[in-house]
Amino acid sequence: MDSNIVWHQATIEPKDYRSKNGHHSGVVWLTGLSGSGKSSIANQVNKKLYERGIQSYILDGDNIRHGLNADLGFKPEDRKENIRRIGEVAKLFADSGTIVLTAFISPYQEDRDRVRDIIDSGDFLEVHVDCPLSECEYRDPKGLYKKARTGEIKGFTGIDSPYEAPDSPELVLESNAYSVDECAEQLISFLEKNEWL
């Protein structure tokens, strides 16, 4: 980094935003296969938090690739940079007093661990949206698995590119056994138990 670039310390700090908002802030990182329900669960949690007056925001994989990460593809090095950028953006949101819900396949444990290192200790929750590949492929909401099976899409996670399930996530949501609403309630209960709300 250029030695002429110096971090400017803000007058208002994360603790001040948290005090004003009346709740903790941090990053809830939902990871799982395509079709596991990450985005649906994140949206349901966000809706419930909004109804309770909690400051929250969703960073969704597809949405981010329309703008901030539109220049990245799906090669391993692009996926790594995609997650790094999201981690940095998520940290900024968390510092502003927001509970950030991220919904990204984020297939590599190393990349998720790197994001954990970016975020302040205790402000990062890794949530594995666990759903068998067979169920995700059956759901196939975007028709991506079908394209991957026919070779139209190369390097698709779960088909010809690996997905590394979290080593020790803070929470596992079994989205094949529970509805979106039930998974959302489980996550909110976890946030309450850990005094984020």
Q: Tell me the pLDDT tens digit for each residue of 159-182.
A: 999 999 999 999 999 999 999 999
| Residue in 25, 40, 106, 161 annotated catalytic | 106
pLDDT above 70 for 1: no
35 labelled ligand-binding: yes
CB atoms within 10 A of CB 88: 12
Q: Is 175 annotated as a binding residue?
A: no
State the pLDDT at residue 46. Answer: 98
Fold of the CATH domain 22-193: Rossmann fold (3.40.50)
Which H or E run includes 14? helix 14-21
Tell me: is residue 38 an annotated ligand-binding position: yes
122 is in an annotated binding site: no
pLDDT range class, residue 62, cuts 50, 70, 90: confident
Question: In DSSP terms, which residues pair with 30 in a beta bridge?
Answer: 103, 127
In the predicted model, what is the mean pLDDT of residues 15-39? 96
Query: Is pTM beyond 0.95 here?
Result: no
Backbone angles phi, psi at 124, to 5 degrees: -130, 125
Task: Give which of 51, 52, 44 is closest to 28, Cα–Cα.
Answer: 44
d(CA 15, CA 97): 8
Confidence of residue 64 (pLDDT cuts 50, 70, 90): confident
Cα-based torsion angle of the residue sequence 189, 191, 196, 197 in order, rounded to the nearest 10 degrees: -30
Report the alpha-carbon distance of residue 174 to residue 83 in Å, rounded: 23
Residues in the chain: 197
The residue with tokens 């802030």 is 25
Per-residue pLDDT at 128 exceeds 70: yes
155 marked as binding residue? no
The percentage of residues in the chain with a pLDDT greater than 90, rounded to a whole number, is: 82
Domain-by-domain residue ranges, the chain?
A: 22-193
The residues with which 174 forms a beta bridge, in sequence order, are: 130
pLDDT at position 121 is 84
Write the single-letter amino acid at 12.
I
Contact by Cβ (8 Å): 31, 126: yes
What is the pLDDT at residue 76? 84
Q: Alpha-carbon distance 15 to 29, whole Å? A: 21
Report residue 162 as tokens. Answer: 């690996």
Q: What strands, in cross-sheet order, belong to the sheet with 124-130?
A: 56-60, 99-103, 26-31, 124-130, 171-174
Residue 53 annotated in ligand binding = no
| Tens of pLDDT, residues 66-95 | 888 999 988 889 889 999 999 999 999 999
**22 marked among binding-site residues:** no
106 is catalytic: yes
- With cut-offs at 50, 70 and 90, classify the pLDDT of residue 6: confident
Give me the residues paired with residue 173 across strands: 129
